[in-house]
Structure 1
Amino acid sequence: MGKTFRQSMAWLHAWSGLVVGWVLFAVFVTGTASYYRAEISLWMRPELRSGATLGPDAMATAAERAVAHLQAHAAGARAWFITLPRAENPVVEVFWRTGPGRPPEHAELDPETGAPASVRATRGGDFLYRFHFELNMPPLWGRWIVGLCAMIMLVALVSGIVTHRRIFVDFFTFRRHKSLQRGWLDAHNVTGVLALPFHLMITYTGIVTLALMYMPWGVTTAYKGDAPRFFAEAGQITAPRQPAGQPGTLAPVGPMVRQAMATIPGPLERLSILNPKDANASVVAVFEEPHGLSHEHPQVAFDGTTGAVAEIRAGGLQPGAKTFTTMVGLHEAHFAGPVLRILFFLCGLAGCAMVATGLLLWSVARLPKPGARPGFGLRLVQGLNVATVAGLPAAVAAYFLANRLLPVGLPDRAAWEVGGFFAIWLLVGLIALLRPQRRAWTEMLTAAAILYAAVCGADGLRILREGLAGGRPADPLFLTFDGAMLALAGLLLLAARKAARYDGAPRPKAARTVGIPEPDRGRAALLEAGE
């Protein structure tokens, strides 16, 4: 590990970053994209258009129609969830679960008629958002893996800070013409130091967000496993009502919606209807969080059979819960306005670059001597680097492109979109392992650029067809999104051009530090940066 404390920290930084770097890159990319989750979802459903916020009467009518649909199609479910229309998502979404352990059922309804909405099936930005912390795995497994990787990420950040004595000098240093290894090291330093407060904040708050899942023992011991009572006493939810075991009739929800909107001065987000056929049915109106750091949702609970107000939760969180919700709010940045959200997005891109350059630096620092062939371990790392750094952006582009190319009425259409995402990612990974390293980088980055340009082209053709048919004018959101796709295509083409210029020549001597053995040259370069 090294003879000195800083050498040990350099070893820890290099190896901890490599072990989880590929997962962390995927987490950073999809998490950064999730800052525009609503816009991505709207772009992936071009049949919709963002509209005005509905008033109490229209919201009440939409809720009544959603309940009618659930009574007809989900009468046996123990809970109904209704997401009411809002400006960025002008449809009613209903969810229900038919039994324990089964995936939730889902439908989208026209708020004006209650009929199924004429909109293509897609997971939209929600796929990228959930991939960010679940990796498209069963939730428990995915969240544990991401949590462990985040813990190691925190270790890598702290050890990186200890390694760099010249951390502020590194902020202004970038020597791309000095040597290949020096250029990657400086790029890693700049992207790491530039947004270091963001990296520390986003990693720590990401761990805290699921802390009760990772460390449930306090709540389990104090509340005998009754987690809902803990959340209710902390002020995060209304007190749950146990089912009476006797049949009951659900009161009209329209008056409840009107009363809730008159009670809480904020946008109504969703309704939760628990035990709708029971005498102890409850209806909870959940509002969007008010402006501010704390991620707390005001709520109004009703007796489901009488329509009477049972409880109002609007602020007043306990200190521990307030701290927790503030951490969640910092991580998700729902409080951020347009300018601050761009800043969060740019910091997220810096995080992606930091992880990517760290992975590349590890492999570049361990290139064999001239004439020698890389070993299996190094070749595997090089292939995984291409598969991750070039493959994941290509997979995201394929996901967007599938949304435009697949037939609107295709059965399981949303699953086909996700399948396209993983198919392209797997294809890039296989090519990266089979092709020579330099060619793999150039070819895969170029392919990713072509995919992003194709996304813009496919949507441009759709806009042109609608215009020729006398349809609605192009939404500025769609034009902005297409422009972002072109910009990404240009950046990837630039990266492919840079990769093509690299002739594969061995790196020059990079380490002035003496006493460090040959296999640890990557660590030596990190130490040199801190001298």
Structure 2
Amino acid sequence: MKPGFRQAMTWLHNWSGLVVGWLLLAIAAAGTLSVFRQELDAWCHPELARGPVDQVAAAEAAIRWLGGHAAKSPSWYLDLADARSPGTLAFWSGGPASGFVQRTLSPVTGSPDGVRDSLGGEFFYRLHFELQLPYPWGRWLAAAAAMALLTTLVTGIVAHRRIFKDFFTLRTHKRQRGWLDGHVVLGVFALPFHLMIAFTGAVTLAILWMPFPGLAAYRGDAAAFAQSLSPAIDRPATGHLAPLVPLAPLLRDAQRRFGEAGIATLSIADPGDAAQAVTVSAGEGRAIAVQQHDLVYDGTTGRLLREHVERRPAVRVYDVLYGLHMGRFAGLAARWFYFLSGAMLTATIASGAILWTVKQRRRHGFGYHLVERLNIGFIAGLPIGFAGFLLANRLIPIGLANRAAIEVRCAFGLWGLALAYAALRRPARAWPELLAAAALTCAAVVVADVPMFVPDGVAIGVDCVLLLLAVAFGATALRLATRGRAGG
């Protein structure tokens, strides 16, 4: 640490940003894309018709298919199709060997046949807070990264005395000052959003890194704490078979009770057992706070067993913070605001990492070279990996086994190749070459989408964003290559 408060904050800002900067870059980029998670789901499943969906018919069709193909699973979970996400997302336990299985089902047939196996927008959503790691390791890392981001933002405000004055300054003719000015402009322009998203992100995962107050209040009984936090009905399986009650009356009753919020999820515990229970949860609606409104029905008789509407003040405060972070209440304009602000946060993190190497360019030690090459591999390699995921979605045959897992492997494989290339190539060559590769990969997705293009807002939006990224990456690569030749 340095003497003096501002110097200490500058030191903390630099090193907290550097240590977790690449992790934050991936989390911020994935979170930005997750704003349009449902739209990416729709784009990744072009076989499904887009538009209004009969949720009752879709749920019944999905349950019929699960009854024939996952009858031995102890529970079924459904994210019901809606106007933004045209497929029914089903989860069930495939047994100890395979763990949970996730498939997108047709809302008409209830079957995954003819629907490509793809995580779609779920890939970016899960990467944002789980990093494709087993529970709870990925979430712990994401929680630590959220705290580090909040620390970096606060210390950056303290460390930069003229942060708002320099917001109106951009000295592109000076390399170090230009990067600093760009970093400040990107950071300050959406600073309230950055602070909100970092704070709410840390709060939503706080129970992982601060479980002790809750456990202390319940004398170490984690099960009682979880039950109080999310009340549920405990109905042990009886071992006696019983048919599932028709779902249509239950779901129409739920729609009447939920009103404008509508139905979001449906789960069935112990399907086929006399003690089976059907839980229906309300959608987000237009309220900022996440709506915790659940109905539990007896799956054998159809009788309403319990209705839970969360009204406890402490939990409602958490629901507001969680709702702000997720942005599910947002209309189209607000979602674009979230997207653009998230893109600026991603660019702020990337520019900060580059700024560190610009400041240290006269110290050609191991640390400098390591950071420089990691910057290239992460900043230029991340869009290659993400675009590679979308390209794999279009190129991999629909009927291929484990198709969703292959898409994910393609994304991380391309990203890993970019990191390896950055480690072996001279930085002056690696930057333009990898950015050119990112531009070509984004453009290739648009070309591969042509045979399946659906002329609606989703397809046009995804393809336009990819084309804009291709142009931006290509122009930057050309400028860097030209500057490199001019410099000898």
Q: 1:278 to 1:492 in 2, by over 3 A?
A: same
Which of residues 46, 52, 72 is equivalent to 1:76? 72
Corresponding position: 1:136 with 2:132: yes
**Offset from partner CA, 1:355-374 (integer Å, 9 cap, x none):** 111100101101127xxxx2
Instruction: State the alpha-carbon separation in 1 of the partners of residues 313 and 59 from structure 2.
Output: 34
Q: 1:208 to 1:308 in 2, by over 3 A?
A: same
Corresponding position: 1:300 with 2:295: yes
Instruction: State the alpha-carbon separation in 2 of the partners of residues 21 and 101 from structure 1.
Output: 36
Corresponding position: 1:488 with 2:483: no
**Offset, 1:500:** 2.6
Structure 2 matches for 1:503-522, cutoff 5 A?
A: 503=484
Alignment match, 1:181 = 176
**Offset from partner CA, 1:336-383 (integer Å, 9 cap, x none):** 1111111111111110111111100101101127xxxx2222111100
**Offset from partner CA, 1:167-217 (integer Å, 9 cap, x none):** 21021111111x211111111111111111111111110011111122222
**Offset, 1:401:** 0.9
TM score, norm. by length of structure 1:
0.86
**Offset, 1:482:** 1.1
Alignment match, 1:515 = none
Q: 1:70 to 1:200 in 2, by over 3 A?
A: same
**Offset, 1:227:** 5.4
Corresponding position: 1:90 with 2:86: yes
**Offset from partner CA, 1:223-248 (integer Å, 9 cap, x none):** 356656546645xx453223154525
**Offset from partner CA, 1:107-142 (integer Å, 9 cap, x none):** 443333344341111111100111011111113111
Q: Verify the 8 A CA contact 1:290 1:297 in the aligned structure 2.
A: no
* Residue type of the alignment partner of 1:10: T
Instruction: State the alpha-carbon separation in 1 of the partners of residues 65 and 452 from structure 2.
Output: 32
Which of residues 163, 169, 177 is equivalent to 1:167? 163
* Residue type of the alignment partner of 1:346: L
Q: 1:113 to 1:504 in 2, by over 3 A?
A: closer
Q: Verify the 8 A CA contact 2:215 2:225 in the aligned structure 1.
A: no
Alignment match, 1:525 = none
Q: Verify the 8 A CA contact 1:248 1:281 in the aligned structure 2.
A: no
Q: Verify the 8 A CA contact 2:62 2:109 in the aligned structure 1.
A: no
Q: 1:22 to 1:291 in 2, by over 3 A?
A: same
Q: SS of the residue aligned with 2:389? A: helix
TM score, norm. by length of structure 2:
0.94
Corresponding position: 1:319 with 2:309: no
* Residue type of the alignment partner of 2:12: L
Instruction: State the alpha-carbon separation in 2 of the partners of residues 389 and 312 from structure 1.
Output: 48
* Residue type of the alignment partner of 1:272: S
Q: SS of the residue aligned with 1:500? A: helix
Instruction: State the alpha-carbon separation in 2 of the partners of residues 169 and 504 from structure 1.
Output: 36
Q: SS of the residue aligned with 1:168? A: coil
Instruction: State the alpha-carbon separation in 1 of the partners of residues 50 and 292 from structure 2.
Output: 23
Alignment match, 2:359 = 365
**Offset, 1:430:** 1.0
**Offset, 1:45:** 1.2
**Offset from partner CA, 1:385-426 (integer Å, 9 cap, x none):** 000110001111111111111112222111111111111111
- Give aligned pairs, total: 485
Q: SS of the residue aligned with 1:139? A: coil
Instruction: State the alpha-carbon separation in 1 of the partners of residues 228 and 465 from structure 2.
Output: 45
Alignment match, 1:196 = 191
Which of residues 385, 388, 391 is equivalent to 1:398? 388
Corresponding position: 1:388 with 2:384: no
Instruction: State the alpha-carbon separation in 2 of the partners of residues 244 and 462 from structure 1.
Output: 46
Instruction: State the alpha-carbon separation in 2 of the partners of residues 148 and 101 from structure 1.
Output: 31
**Offset from partner CA, 1:132-169 (integer Å, 9 cap, x none):** 11111113111111111221221111111111121210
Q: 1:505 to 1:354 in 2, by over 3 A?
A: farther
Q: 1:493 to 1:61 in 2, by over 3 A?
A: closer
Q: Verify the 8 A CA contact 2:63 2:110 in the aligned structure 1.
A: no
**Offset from partner CA, 1:283-326 (integer Å, 9 cap, x none):** 11112122111012322111222211112234x52011001011
Q: Which piece of structure 1 moves more, 378-387 or 267-276?
A: 267-276
Q: SS of the residue aligned with 2:170? A: coil
Highest CA radius of gyration, 1 or 2? Answer: 1
Instruction: State the alpha-carbon separation in 2 of the partners of residues 305 and 52 from structure 1.
Output: 30
* Residue type of the alignment partner of 2:468: A
Which of residues 358, 369, 377 is equivalent to 1:379? 369
Corresponding position: 1:273 with 2:274: no
Q: Verify the 8 A CA contact 1:438 1:504 in the aligned structure 2.
A: no
Q: Which piece of structure 1 moves more, 100-109 or 85-94?
A: 100-109
Q: Which piece of structure 1 moves more, 45-54 or 340-349?
A: 45-54
Alignment match, 1:511 = none
* Residue type of the alignment partner of 2:204: T
Q: 1:114 to 1:163 in 2, by over 3 A?
A: closer
* Residue type of the alignment partner of 1:474: P
**Offset from partner CA, 1:236-288 (integer Å, 9 cap, x none):** x4532231545252323222112212222132122111122444321111121
Q: Verify the 8 A CA contact 1:238 1:312 in the aligned structure 2.
A: no
Q: Verify the 8 A CA contact 1:403 1:417 in the aligned structure 2.
A: yes
Alignment match, 2:432 = 442
Corresponding position: 1:240 with 2:221: no
Alignment match, 2:17 = 17
Instruction: State the alpha-carbon separation in 2 of the partners of residues 460 and 71 from structure 1.
Output: 37
Instruction: State the alpha-carbon separation in 1 of the partners of residues 147 and 384 from structure 2.
Output: 28
Alignment match, 1:337 = 331
Q: 1:61 to 1:156 in 2, by over 3 A?
A: closer
**Offset, 1:84:** 2.4
Which ranges in structure 2 are unaligned for 5 or more consecutive residues?
Answer: none
Structure 2 matches for 1:28-107, cutoff 5 A?
A: 28-54=28-54, 59-99=55-95, 103-107=99-103
Q: 1:328 to 1:441 in 2, by over 3 A?
A: same
Q: SS of the residue aligned with 1:354? A: helix
Q: 1:48 to 1:111 in 2, by over 3 A?
A: closer
**Offset from partner CA, 1:74-115 (integer Å, 9 cap, x none):** 222221112322122333333211446952123443333344
Q: Verify the 8 A CA contact 2:80 2:265 in the aligned structure 1.
A: yes
* Residue type of the alignment partner of 1:145: L
Q: Verify the 8 A CA contact 2:46 2:452 in the aligned structure 1.
A: no
Instruction: State the alpha-carbon separation in 1 of the partners of residues 434 and 234 from structure 2.
Output: 55
Instruction: State the alpha-carbon separation in 2 of the partners of residues 10 and 423 from structure 1.
Output: 36
Identity %: 42
Q: Verify the 8 A CA contact 1:438 1:502 in the aligned structure 2.
A: no
Instruction: State the alpha-carbon separation in 1 of the partners of residues 20 and 486 from structure 2.
Output: 28
Alignment match, 2:3 = 3
Q: Verify the 8 A CA contact 1:443 1:496 in the aligned structure 2.
A: yes
Which of residues 416, 419, 422 is equivalent to 2:409? 419
